[in-house]
Structure 1
Amino acid sequence: MPEIKNPNQQGGGGQDPKTMLAFTAIFILMFLGLQYFKPKKTPETGAQQQQRSLPATAETPASSPASPAATATAKSGVVSAANAVQASSESSTIVENELYRVQFSNRGAQVTSWILKKYKDGDGKPLDLVNQKAAAQFGYPLSLFTYDSGLRTRLSEALFVPSTTGVVNAPGSVTFTWSDGSLTARKKFSFDSSYVVHAETSVEQNGTPVTALLTWPSGFGDQETLPQFAKSSFNTMQAGKSTSDAYKKVIGGATLNGPFDWAGVSDLYFAAIFLPDAPQQTTVVQLHNEETIPRNIKKPDPNATDRAPVLGAAMGVVGGSSSARLYAGPKLIDVLKSVKATGPAGKPTGPDIEPIVSFGWMKFISEPLFLILHWMHEHIVSNWGWSILLLTLLINLCMLPTRITMMKSALKMQRIQPQMEAIKERYKKYKMNDPRRQDMNKEIFDLQKKEGANMFGGCLPMLIQWPLLYGFYNMLSNVFELRQAHWLWLPDLASPDPLHILPVFFIVSMFLVQYLTPSPGVDPAQQRMMAFTMPAVFGFMTWSVASGLALYWACGNIVNIVQQTVMNRTSLGREMHDIAAKRAAKRLGKPAASRR
């Protein structure tokens, strides 16, 4: 935390306990408000129920008389009749490069596994982008969406003929074709060395194009708990303006007309974004289903479950063939900025997909903080934990002038405090609604103006530190780069400290900040209450926040302790302590020793 000043400065500090409590209450309300994004239940609408795919049914191949030009060949495993192309059995094709290993099934020509080689799931296993449980219910990635559920089922069950089986090393492509004599479907997927896949799809009925949109229908493989599902969003870019709709705003089966630069779905850390080759002609369909998940993943109980939202997206051209690129991978800022939509000339010169990363409503603070943190990680120290500590030190050094200004303002207020109390004493016989009370306020204001004192001077650091803290919270809670980032004993800077070392350290260090900060004019009982209450309240909060944020906060306390210790030895600090000691002694009726 950049700075947590002792709130126990009444009058003389311009930062009395009521002011501090007000700021604290505002922050706590902001913090608790974040729980709004972790709902317990989500009702199912009729549109969402209709959106679910029908149960898979066996597909009976067409059995037309064979012709010399199209006969069954056991070697290829293809059942071929007049105008019919179908595989005789299910097979798989694997495409891989250094980033992923994608496994296709020729049943539906869809993806059954999308392993990201550089990332692990919560159990330390290679991360699969395909949510296997949800996909089995609502469809697998790169399946086809049609408004006719029966046709949708036929296409997902059809045994396509692949151009190749086994392993294909990218760059490369694989084509799937299928026909029952009247209905024909074709898919071609091209891969390179990036996370971007190019897809071409077409479906025809007796030579007439059929609307069939390429889809990513069933969320992501890292979604297990309700908060993870609740972080899902539907993302679009139209005319250079990006939108990100939380799952509550996504209507299953809703058709959105283009043009679209890009559209797709994402969760906290991964995304599947379609970038059409023909943005002007593109149509997007929102998919929203629900999955029953156990409330406790480690100890599933059929009587303790939640309904989790499962988002998907379908994109294509109505009544025609479609071609688009698909980004399927992590929400890494640098990578997302390199993926651009199709421009007017048909080249990837349009808007990039970086806006899918959410920095919250205080993006103007969160994003610059991350860019600075990222630069430090790239150019100074290649560890995110040390980068956070370095950024904390930088922020506190930048705020040092405000601390000095606050001390000067507090000292001026303390010097005129006896005169202010004398003015209040003269007017205390008047009731609060007496017009003469306005004269008292005017006298106090004139006195402050004459002495160059500002009762709000002590609030400046607090007005700066709360937005910074909230911006840090949003930044550390949403960027992929901190996912599973290690620092000393912390295995994941995006998750709470598993050993609870940081919360305990924070409480102790914040108490020291409170103890070292002079508090003239404050009732001793009130001072003791605040000195223990504030560390306890904020320390409790560090138990559940990302350890990266707790690290920033605790380090800020250490910097504040050092700064306050040094400032206490300056003439400003000594005078403030002398005034505090004199007032405390006056209350107790004892002489006070000067620290000069």
Structure 2
Amino acid sequence: MEEKKFDANSIIGFLLLGAIMLWFMYTNQPEPEETPAQTTEAVKASEEAPISNTINSNAIASDSLAFAQAQQRLGNFAYSASLAVEENGTTVLENEVLKLTFANKGAQITEALVKNFETHNKLPLYLIKEANASFNISFGTTSNRIFNTKDLVFQPSLSKNGANDILSLKLKVSENEFLEYRYELKPNDPMVGFTVRSSGLSSVINSANPVTLDFNLTAFRHEKSIKYENQNTALYYEKEDGKMDDLSIAGEDLEEESNVDWFAFKQHFFSVILLSDTPFKTAKLSSETLFQDEATDSLQTKAFTVQAPLALNGGELNYNFNLYLGPNDYSALAAYDKGIENVIELGWGIFGWINQHAFIPLFNFLGGFMSNYGLIIILMTVVVRIFMSPLVYKSYLSSAKMKVLKPEMQEINDRLPGKENAMKRQQETMALQRKAGVSMMAGCIPALLQMPVFFALFRFFPSAIDLRQQGFLWADDLSSYDSIYKLPFNIPMYGDHISLFPILASVAIFFYMRMSQSQQMNMQQPAQEGMPDMQKMMKMMMYLSPIMMLVFFNSYGAGLSLYYFISNLLTITIMLVIKNFIIDEDKIHAQIQENKKRPEKKKSKFRARMDEAMKQAQEQQKTQKKK
């Protein structure tokens, strides 16, 4: 067997290979600070760095995209959107009589609470709530966009001006370029100062496009009788230097007027009124009745809308308004000296004058001494009837004179019968009355003089807010009907209830007319051939008048029915006193006989012309008869 020999070359090769491996490992070992843990952190850092850079880039890209979208949608007003104003945010201004909530979106009033008043069902009384009102200004821009302020978000800012609270809401193009709504609320005052102005927007607002104000409101029901409330709800406005006008209370109505100073969404006892220092050159005003009938439980009465163009001054908007949100109190509204007290319907002409200068001062004077408004109405009625009693006396005295003279007038009728003697009969009757000192007009004029008082009070009591929710006897609200029984059905024109004061007033007016019928028949000349039977006509009126009062006054305010009830009772009493204790028919007859003995006074020119005309008519009648 061959012995293996040790190979020195192989040993040297292995040693060289090992040395090379040791050298390679030595020269390629990690630096002392690069531990495995540190190497792992470095790897993580290198992985995270690209992620962070991606997030920042995405955020920048997102902001840029949002601003680009806002700019595309809002144009110049994109800056306002970048201010991060809360779109649904609100601000409250409040004083002793009013609480107003303003929305950032649209910079308009979203709630208007009238303090110290309640609805008929004892709920807080809101004039504006639940989006029943909208105030908007639409305008075009130089970038060919049309904007509506009700859709844009304004930046609110609160401040003080002495005791006044100020809310500024701005729609900004930049910090120094904006459209501003500025509201100022004084203590204990329902009149809000309201300014709309722009600054630096002359290059933004396109003057070629109309700038239009749109103000609309749907009136809520506040009173017990929605029918009666609806009858006293209308859109009023002042135009052309103080001329008042209003839209129809029935159905739909639309008018276009010039130079409108203010307009009022007037409800029965409360109003929203916008006044402008700069009259609206033109204005479209519309009204729509939402209430149908009492059988429908409606919560709304009418919908009002006003559209008016606004003028630019040097490319800018600058309008000073006042906004009234409160009760229709005549004295309080008149104190503003703006003419807005005319929204209270006191009657036209002499009727309104009597209310303004007689009944309102008298009512306020009596209210200073007592708090029960039922007693105030009664006392006021007593004062009015005492003041009118001389006219009642004059009328009754004239009636008594005609009663004494009636047999002699009948003798003339019997002596000159037939149509052919009508003129002569009339002449002799008038001559007899002149000699006796009796005149038909002496009885008519006192009655006519009482009519303005009648119609003035007919307008006064429904307009007196002091009567609202004031109780008396069984009536819980003198400004509304005094229901004593609720009917299970609705009677057309009458309603679904029975009111007691109209029944009492109807009974009183029946007896008054029954008493006055005999008085009027004394005033009437004896029936002549061819003439209508006045006695039948008066008897018909005696029954018709109480029925009409019973029907129409059933839904009217109890205060008005109470007045007529007391007034008729007092008139009946005054007539009985005059008849039984003041008038002496024997003395009147003796006086008439004395008057007849006196020489007749020289005829006046008017009477001479009348006699001549009657004489000519008589001659013509004879000529025609001969032919």
TM-score, with length taken from structure 2: 0.65
Q: Report the residue type matching 1:564 in the other structure.
A: M
Counterpart CA distance in 1 for 2:502 and 2:585 is: 32
* Cα drift, residue 408 of structure 1: 2.1
1:337 to 312, 334, 340: 334
Structure 2 match to 1:90? 88
Structure 2 match to 1:199? 194
Structure 2 match to 1:359? 346
8 Å CA contact retained: 2:156, 2:169: yes
8 Å CA contact retained: 1:65, 1:82: no
Distance of aligned partners of 1:101 and 1:176 in 2 relative to their CA distance in 1, 3 Å threshold:
same
Secondary structure class of the residue paired with 1:416: helix
Counterpart CA distance in 2 for 1:151 and 1:122 is: 47
CA deviation map 1:400-431 (0-9, x unaligned): 22222222222221122111111101112x3x
Q: Report the residue type matching 1:144 in the other structure.
A: I
Distance of aligned partners of 1:176 and 1:546 in 2 relative to their CA distance in 1, 3 Å threshold:
same
Counterpart CA distance in 2 for 1:482 and 1:157 is: 42
Counterpart CA distance in 2 for 1:498 and 1:438 is: 56
Structure 2 match to 1:41? none
Q: Report the residue type matching 2:378 in the other structure.
A: L
Structure 2 match to 1:389? 378
Q: Report the residue type matching 2:152 in the other structure.
A: A
8 Å CA contact retained: 2:252, 2:286: no
Distance of aligned partners of 1:62 and 1:450 in 2 relative to their CA distance in 1, 3 Å threshold:
farther
1:542 aligns to 2:539 (yes or no)? no
Secondary structure class of the residue paired with 1:442: helix
Distance of aligned partners of 1:315 and 1:338 in 2 relative to their CA distance in 1, 3 Å threshold:
farther
1:218 aligns to 2:217 (yes or no)? yes
Distance of aligned partners of 1:314 and 1:378 in 2 relative to their CA distance in 1, 3 Å threshold:
farther
Counterpart CA distance in 1 for 2:78 and 2:423 is: 97
Structure 1 match to 2:276? 276
Counterpart CA distance in 1 for 2:355 and 2:80 is: 62
2:67 to 64, 68, 71: 64
Structure 1 match to 2:168? 175
Q: Report the residue type matching 1:232 in the other structure.
A: A
Counterpart CA distance in 2 for 1:576 and 1:145 is: 81
Distance of aligned partners of 1:384 and 1:459 in 2 relative to their CA distance in 1, 3 Å threshold:
same
8 Å CA contact retained: 1:502, 1:551: yes
Distance of aligned partners of 1:213 and 1:400 in 2 relative to their CA distance in 1, 3 Å threshold:
same
8 Å CA contact retained: 2:462, 2:479: yes
Q: Which structure would you say has the larger RCO, counting Cα contacts within 8 Å and 6 or more residues apart?
A: 1
Structure 2 match to 1:117? 115
Q: Report the residue type matching 2:126 in the other structure.
A: D
Distance of aligned partners of 1:164 and 1:495 in 2 relative to their CA distance in 1, 3 Å threshold:
same
CA deviation map 1:373-393 (0-9, x unaligned): 433344443443323222211
Secondary structure class of the residue paired with 2:554: coil
1:375 aligns to 2:364 (yes or no)? yes
Higher helix share: 2
Structure 1 match to 2:444? 459
Structure 2 match to 1:235? 237
Counterpart CA distance in 2 for 1:133 and 1:106 is: 14
Structure 2 match to 1:586? none
More divergent stretch after superposition (96-105 vs 364-373): 364-373
* Cα drift, residue 455 of structure 1: 2.7
Counterpart CA distance in 2 for 1:542 and 1:215 is: 38
1:440 aligns to 2:425 (yes or no)? yes
CA deviation map 1:60-83 (0-9, x unaligned): 9993379xxxxxxxxxxxx98599
Structure 2 match to 1:48? none
8 Å CA contact retained: 1:86, 1:179: no
Identity, % of aligned positions? 21
Structure 1 match to 2:567? 556
Counterpart CA distance in 2 for 1:271 and 1:416 is: 58
* Cα drift, residue 212 of structure 1: 4.8
Q: Report the residue type matching 1:272 in the other structure.
A: V
8 Å CA contact retained: 2:347, 2:459: yes
1:425 aligns to 2:414 (yes or no)? yes
8 Å CA contact retained: 1:102, 1:111: yes
Distance of aligned partners of 1:290 and 1:320 in 2 relative to their CA distance in 1, 3 Å threshold:
farther
8 Å CA contact retained: 1:410, 1:458: yes
* Cα drift, residue 546 of structure 1: 2.5
**Unaligned runs of at least 5 residues, structure 1:** 1-59, 67-78, 341-350, 579-596
Structure 2 match to 1:413? 402
Q: Report the residue type matching 1:192 in the other structure.
A: K
Counterpart CA distance in 2 for 1:215 and 1:169 is: 32
Counterpart CA distance in 1 for 2:65 and 2:171 is: 11
RMSD: 4.3
Distance of aligned partners of 1:370 and 1:172 in 2 relative to their CA distance in 1, 3 Å threshold:
same
CA deviation map 1:265-300 (0-9, x unaligned): 4333333333334x36x5453343657556457646
Structure 2 match to 1:343? none
Counterpart CA distance in 2 for 1:514 and 1:81 is: 77
8 Å CA contact retained: 2:105, 2:152: yes
Counterpart CA distance in 2 for 1:187 and 1:502 is: 50
Instruction: Describe how 1:120-139 pairs up with structure 2 within 5 A.
Output: 120-130=118-128, 132=130, 134-135=132-133
Counterpart CA distance in 2 for 1:402 and 1:96 is: 53
* Cα drift, residue 354 of structure 1: 2.1
Counterpart CA distance in 1 for 2:413 and 2:293 is: 60
Distance of aligned partners of 1:489 and 1:274 in 2 relative to their CA distance in 1, 3 Å threshold:
same
Q: Report the residue type matching 2:195 in the other structure.
A: E
1:477 aligns to 2:462 (yes or no)? yes
Secondary structure class of the residue paired with 2:440: coil
Secondary structure class of the residue paired with 1:484: coil
Counterpart CA distance in 2 for 1:164 and 1:240 is: 36
8 Å CA contact retained: 1:132, 1:221: no
Instruction: Describe how 1:481-520 pairs up with structure 2 within 5 A.
Output: 481-499=466-484, 500-514=499-513, 519=518
Structure 1 match to 2:595? none
Distance of aligned partners of 1:200 and 1:481 in 2 relative to their CA distance in 1, 3 Å threshold:
same
8 Å CA contact retained: 1:357, 1:479: no
Counterpart CA distance in 2 for 1:209 and 1:200 is: 21
8 Å CA contact retained: 1:236, 1:264: no
8 Å CA contact retained: 1:143, 1:156: yes
* Cα drift, residue 307 of structure 1: 9.7
Distance of aligned partners of 1:335 and 1:420 in 2 relative to their CA distance in 1, 3 Å threshold:
same
Counterpart CA distance in 1 for 2:243 and 2:565 is: 38
